[in-house]
C-alpha cells in the first residue's frame, strides 16, 4: 500500500477501476490518501435498483445514498451514472425516498446517464427541472393498473435536449407525446422545437420507434412488437411503416433488434428491409427458428445487402439441443444469401434463464461452432438488463 503513494494519479485511478464497490470502500477506509480518487470512482457509477422481493435493507441503502449526496456537494458532483428505482408497481412509493429524491437529484449536477424504475421515482425526481443535462435515459414507469397514468414525458425530454440514447419501457406513449411527434413529421414544428434532435439510439416498443425515427438520425433501435401489431394486413403494415418521412429515416439505422409478439414473424421487418440500406447488425428474438426460418429469412436477408452479422435468439423454454438441430441449415442459408456476412449467432435460453449463443464463422473453412459470451451482435435492449444484474451483484 505504501508504494501506491508514489505512483502517478492516472495510474492509481487505473488500478482502482478493477475494484468492485465493496472492495473499494474497504480500500478507502484503509488508505486515506486514496480517498479522493476512490470516492470519485465509487460515486461515478452508482447502482441502486431493487425489485418487489427486496428486503427493507435495500430501501435503506437508497435512502442513505440520497441523504449522502443531499448533504455532501462534493460527493454529489461525482455521480455521472445512476441506476435507481423499484420495480414494484406501488402507487405511492417509499415516503422517505419521496421526501428527498427531488432535492438529491438537484445536487448531482454532473449526472449524464440515468436509469430510473417505477412511477413514484419518476414523479418525485422532477427530471423536467434538474440542473444537469442527460445524454442517456432509461425510464420505466408502468404500473399494473388500468387507471395509472403514464409519466409525462414531454417536459422531461425537453429538459434534456442532448439525449443520445433513450429507452422507454412503456407499451404506449402518452397521447400528447404522440401528437407532438406526429406534428414534427408533418412539418408543423420548427427545427428548434424538435424533441431530442441528437438521439442516436432508441429502445422500446414498435410505436415509439416509428414515432421517433423521423426527424432524427437514429442509428440503433429496438422494436418490442406490441400485442396485436402483427395481426394487421399488408396494407395496414405499409401505412404504418412506409410513410415518406419513415422511409427517408431508415437509411441511418445501423443496428436493429426486433422482439416479435407471441412467436409470430415480424412482418413489418420484411416490408421495411429494402430501405434499411445501411443496416449492418440485426437481431430477432423469439421462437423464430420454429417458424419455417428458411422461407422467412430468405425473403428478409436478400433485401439487406449491407448486413454484417445476424443474431437469432430462441425463447419460450426451447432447449439448446432443439436450437442446434436447425443451426446448420440456417447458417448455410444466411451465408448463401448474404455472402459478405462475417458472423452469425444463434442461441436460446439455458438453465437459470441465461442466454447462451453459438457463433459461426462463415469466412473460415466450413462452419465453426463455439460457445460465445452473452454480449454479442447488437442486443441493445438486453444490454440494460445485463447492466442491471451486474449492478445488483456488486
What burial letters (b/e) apply to 171-199, b meaning 16+ CB within 10 Å? eebeeebeebbeebbeeebeeeebbbeeb
Instruction: Write down the pLDDT at residue 339.
Output: 73
**Predicted structure pTM score:** 0.82
298, burial (CB in 10 Å: exposed 0-12, middle 13-18, buried 19+): middle
Planar angle of CA 109, 153, 143, nearest 5 degrees:
105
Instruction: Write down the pLDDT at residue 244.
Output: 93
Instruction: Write down the pLDDT at residue 90.
Output: 61
Planar angle of CA 146, 151, 154, nearest 5 degrees:
135
8-state DSSP, 93: -
C-alpha cell read off for 309: 452479422
Spatial contact of 346 and 328, defined as CB atoms under 8 Å apart: no
pLDDT average per 10 residues of sequence, the chain (394 residues):
58 64 65 67 82 70 93 94 79 83 96 91 93 94 56 92 92 89 94 95 91 95 69 68 94 89 68 93 70 71 86 59 59 75 67 54 52 42 49 50
| CB atoms closer than 10 angstroms to residue 252 | 18
Spatial contact of 176 and 209, defined as CB atoms under 8 Å apart: no
Planar angle of CA 156, 83, 347, nearest 5 degrees:
105
Spatial contact of 50 and 90, defined as CB atoms under 8 Å apart: no
Instruction: Write down the pLDDT at residue 305.
Output: 84
17, 15, 103, 90: which is closest to 59 by C-alpha? 90
Long-range contacts of 37-41 (CB under 8 A, 24+ apart): 37/9, 37/12, 37/13, 39/74, 39/75, 39/78, 40/13, 40/78, 41/13, 41/16, 41/17
**R_g of the chain, CA atoms, integer Å:** 23
Instruction: Write down the pLDDT at residue 116.
Output: 92
Instruction: Write down the pLDDT at residue 287.
Output: 57
Give CA–CA dist 140/291, Å, rounded. 31
Amino acid at each position: 500500500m505504501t508504494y501506491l503513494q508514489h505512483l502517478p494519479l492516472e495510474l492509481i485511478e487505473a488500478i482502482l477501476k478493477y475494484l468492485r464497490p465493496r472492495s473499494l470502500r474497504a480500500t478507502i477506509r484503509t488508505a486515506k490518501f486514496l480517498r479522493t480518487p476512490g470516492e470519485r470512482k465509487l460515486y461515478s457509477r452508482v447502482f441502486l435498483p431493487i425489485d418487489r422481493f427486496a428486503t427493507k435493507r435495500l430501501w435503506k441503502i437508497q435512502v442513505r445514498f440520497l441523504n449522502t449526496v443531499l448533504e455532501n456537494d462534493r460527493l454529489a458532483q461525482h455521480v455521472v451514472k445512476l441506476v435507481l428505482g423499484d420495480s414494484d408497481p406501488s402507487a405511492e412509493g417509499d415516503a422517505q425516498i419521496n421526501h428527498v429524491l427531488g432535492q438529491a437529484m438537484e445536487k448531482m449536477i454532473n449526472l449524464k446517464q440515468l436509469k430510473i424504475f417505477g412511477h413514484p421515482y419518476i414523479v418525485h425526481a422532477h427530471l423536467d427541472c434538474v440542473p444537469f443535462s442527460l445524454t442517456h435515459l432509461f425510464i420505466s414507469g408502468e404500473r399494473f393498473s388500468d387507471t395509472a397514468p403514464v409519466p409525462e414525458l414531454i417536459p422531461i425530454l425537453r429538459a434534456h435536449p442532448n439525449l443520445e440514447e433513450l429507452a422507454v419501457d412503456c407499451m404506449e406513449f402518452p397521447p400528447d407525446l404522440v401528437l407532438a411527434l406526429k406534428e414534427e413529421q408533418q412539418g408543423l414544428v420548427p427545427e428548434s422545437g424538435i424533441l431530442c434532435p441528437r438521439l442516436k439510439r432508441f429502445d422500446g416498443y414498435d410505436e415509439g420507434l416509428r414515432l421517433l425515427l423521423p426527424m432524427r438520425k437514429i442509428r440503433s433501435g429496438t422494436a418490442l412488437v406490441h400485442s396485436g401489431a402483427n395481426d394487421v394486413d399488408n396494407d395496414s403494415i405499409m401505412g404504418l411503416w412506409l410513410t415518406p418521412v419513415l422511409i427517408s429515416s431508415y437509411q441511418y439505422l445501423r443496428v436493429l433488434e426486433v422482439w416479435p409478439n407471441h412467436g409470430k414473424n415480424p412482418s413489418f421487418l420484411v416490408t421495411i428491409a429494402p430501405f434499411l440500406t445501411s443496416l449492418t447488425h440485426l437481431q430477432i428474438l423469439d421462437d423464430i427458428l420454429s417458424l419455417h426460418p428458411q422461407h422467412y429469412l430468405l425473403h428478409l436477408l436478400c433485401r439487406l445487402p449491407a448486413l454484417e452479422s445476424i443474431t437469432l435468439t430462441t425463447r419460450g423454454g426451447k432447449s439448446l439441443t432443439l436450437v442446434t438441430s436447425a443451426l446448420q441449415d440456417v447458417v448455410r442459408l444466411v451465408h448463401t444469401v448474404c455472402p459478405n456476412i462475417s458472423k452469425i449467432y444463434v442461441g436460446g435460453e439455458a438453465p437459470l434463464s441465461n442466454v447462451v449463443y453459438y457463433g459461426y464463422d462463415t469466412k473460415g473453412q466450413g462452419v465453426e461452432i463455439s460457445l460465445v459470451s452473452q454480449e454479442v451482435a447488437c442486443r441493445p435492449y438486453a444490454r440494460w438488463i445485463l447492466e442491471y444484474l451486474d449492478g445488483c451483484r456488486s
